[in-house]
Structure 1
Amino acid sequence: MKSLLKGCLTLLLIIAAAGLTSCVAKDENNIGDDKNNQNIDLPTEENGYIVKVVPGETAIIDLNGDGEDEIINYTLMSAANDNNGNYTVKNLSISGEEYARASDDNPLIYLGASIYYPDDQWYFIVDIDTSDDYKELAIADIGASEDLTTSYFRYDGEGLEYIGYITGFPADETYSMDGKGTIKSQGRLDLLQYWTTVFAWELSSEGKLATVEEDLYTPISYDYYDKEPVILKEEITAYAEMDLNSKEILMEPSEEEISFPLTDNKNWVLMSKADGTQGWIYIEDRQNIISANKKLPCTDVFDNLYFAD
């Protein structure tokens, strides 16, 4: 009898272990189907006003300041016609109301949000402005061409509203939020080459995210691209100020490294030589340098500019 009981107990333990394994095994085609409800931390100054949530971990939090908790369910599934292991949104529901249209290639496009391949590690609950009643939902997107963006949504108790997107991910080193309505994150500059800077966005009076226009931007060093230094290979005319009528400065070719410490991200880029000589170069159509009334492609003027593959 003891032997029989021992055998039965062993069998039950094996069955239980098998069941536990089946529950925790990740379904590569669907992320978040095995839901785990949790009251999440509030986004505060201590955590940078950002709380990470794993897809499938159903978050419980008051999103609109009415004193009642909302239940957020967000899950992913394998993207159709994709062989790179990307996902798309399967479900996005708040307190039982479904907002994702999973039959669409872009399930949230009807709200105005273009989310192609959402990040499969995290979604985020943030507090852009602590003086209002809202906590926002943020979904990071790898994008169709790997241009990283994050889309933001607000829930007002009656529906979900898309309020805009910014470049970069909330988990990036250059991303920051001040809790007063401003977000900063790394994004791509528009002229000369592939390079980036830190841009700012702020909430408008209508509660939408809008880019904060700066007079000048400081490019982020691109040393990590493991590239050769930029060299000036053709003589060009630069200017003492951001004005085509200002004093002209002749820049002669050399093997000295060239840097570009400032730009207005519209037409002007400050060029600096290793000997300390500086001058503003004027650019049209993003990649054509205007020098002595000539239009020169930037790749004819400089060697080793960086362009993304």
Structure 2
Amino acid sequence: MFIQCKNRKKPKIISLILCLFLLCLLPGCELRKTANESNSDQVTLTPEPTSTDKVSDKKEEADPNKNKVTVAPSDVPKATEDPKLEDFSELDKYFKDYTFDISYDEKLEYYERTYSVHGEYDLDGDGKADRINAVLKANYEEDDIYIEVNDRKVALNRGNPSGEVRVIDLDSRDSYVEVAIFDDGPSGDPNFVFFRYDGKELSLIGSIDRYALMDGQGKFISWFHLANNFKPQFFSAWGEFKNGQYVITNHDVEQNIGKTYEVDGSGYFIPLDENPESYFEHTVWDSESMREFKATKIKILDIHIEEDDRILNWFYVELPDGERGLLYFWIGD
């Protein structure tokens, strides 16, 4: 009986072994199947052939940086201390002692004149004089007026010249000096237009009002951003030429509120018991509102100015006799 039982167990044992063997085979098949499915999702860098594309035998190497996101450095400079007003001077201080040969027909009216400008000056700092030519006139067409340095020509779009052309050093930290062309503006807004020659190309840098200040290291304070009638003076913004644009940095003017200054010159004063919400609504340009100031002690109670418009010209003030009102000055139209 024992033997019979033993014989009956053999088929069961064999069946058990076969099952275990099959179980070992199945995971391997599943693993191979999973790997194959995974490979079918890979992206191939080489494009599949089409009717117009030829298959190249050359392999494209994987770029390790291809999938990395790189943040480009910002063009905004690192925060620096605001410039000091005492470091700035009139543009005339930075003009070079050089006179261009300028010719024109004196018999013609101012608006009819054509100015021919010729000169030689080392503009790029290579020790060699550069040939400078320009044609300036009021009644112009686009191709008629220009500045040219060593056969590099740039058309001008200013139409109120006086014939004044100067050499100026905008930034003593570089090797260049620039050409400054004066233009009187369409309605009495005089300005200088600056051009730079780097040895290869002649480019327009930008323009600034005639009575701006500069520090000789690339910084400017526009006349419109200066408290010109106040002593001591203060300013609302300063600027730099960067990539063909004049980039303005605002300067804090709230620090001047509550202080007393001496005011000189002619200004407009509108009596107001309270600080107006909108200075524009109270601004008039008639002679009845004009007053003369001569070293008059005036306390600034508020300054009306915008973040994106730094014209420094409207002040809510208190006069020596206690009268309050809006003070502003003529700055052109």
TM bucket (normalised to shorter chain) is 0.3 to 0.5
Q: Give the alignment's TM-score, normalised by structure 2.
A: 0.45
* Larger Rg, first or second structure (1 or 2): 2
Q: Higher helix proportion, which one?
A: 2
